[in-house]
Amino acid sequence: MHAPFPQRPDAPNPHAQQPVLTAGPPLVDAQCALVMVHGRGAAAESILSLYDELNVPLCAAFAPQAAGHSWYPQSFLAPLQTNQPYLDSALDKLESLVAEILASGMHSDRIVLLGFSQGACLTLEYGATHPRVYGGIIGFTGGLIGPPGTPRNYPGTLAGTPVFLGSPDPDPHVPFERVEETRDVLRAMGAEVELRRYPGMPHSINDDEFQAARTMIRRAATLQPTREIRA
């Protein structure tokens, strides 16, 4: 049974000390890095288990664990303040992980961000609030975070970053209108966004989505070399 969500509003960074699980080759030998973000009530092990199915052996995979198995306590559509300090801590956790990957000498166009459900929402919000030229951003059933009418004037550009959004319609947790809004916002930031709608699909990931993700990750791994060469 999962531990309860940490009820410590005084803790400024509840996710900071949580572990990051890995799979695939060491980062120094990898051609790309894949950051995999689990959903509410799940664990790093569960999202990392998708690594073998994706079949991207050139990529080093990293799966951070959320405190209490949830990145934030309320719906992603709730007022932003009701999900603090957990939401900011979760975004900081991803930024810390991406910074470590960049510090290894791997360029951002070799980094692919992937999330499912709550993890997809967090991944997409991170990409919008920390824009770079990523190797890809993959959101399996998720959208940008905040209630309807949240301002989306994110500074910066995604400058051609490929983005894949796949979502059931209807979905019990993620309104399809929010997925469409996310597409439009990320396109306005310069991303190349593909949205696939799956009528009647349950809250899960299907084979078509896996194939789209696999193609995107393999493309990031086989770009012309951009890693810094050291003497």
Question: Tens digits of per-residue pLDDT, 132-179?
Answer: 999 999 999 999 999 999 999 999 999 999 999 999 999 999 999 999
- Residue among 102, 100, 139 nearest 119 (CA): 139
Q: What share of the chain is helix, strand, coil (3-state, %, to 5)?
A: 35, 20, 45
Q: What is the domain partition of the chain in residue ranges?
A: 33-221
At 229 the pLDDT is 30
pTM for this predicted structure:
0.93
- pLDDT, one tens digit per residue, over 187-221 is 999 999 999 999 999 999 999 999 999 999 999 99
Share of the chain above pLDDT 70, in %: 92
CA nearest to 70, candidates 86, 82, 84: 86
Q: Which residue has the tokens 């890095």?
A: 33
Q: What's the CATH fold of domain 33-221?
A: Rossmann fold (3.40.50)
21, with CB counted inside 10 A (0-12, 13-18, 19+), is middle
Nearest to 97 by CA among 83, 111, 84: 111
Question: Does 227 score more than 80 pLDDT?
Answer: no
The answer on pLDDT for 107 being more than 90 is: yes
β-strand 192-199 against 32-37: which pairing, if any? Answer: unpaired
pLDDT of residue 12: 83
- pLDDT bracket for residue 223 (50, 70, 90): confident
- pLDDT, position 228: 39
pLDDT, averaged across the chain: 93
Which of residues 61 and 223 earns the better pLDDT score? 61
Distance CA 123, CA 80 (A): 16
How many beta carbons lie within 10 A of that of residue 16, not counting itself?
Answer: 12
Tokens representing 209 are 């989505």
Question: Which of 10 and 50 is assigned the larger pLDDT?
Answer: 50
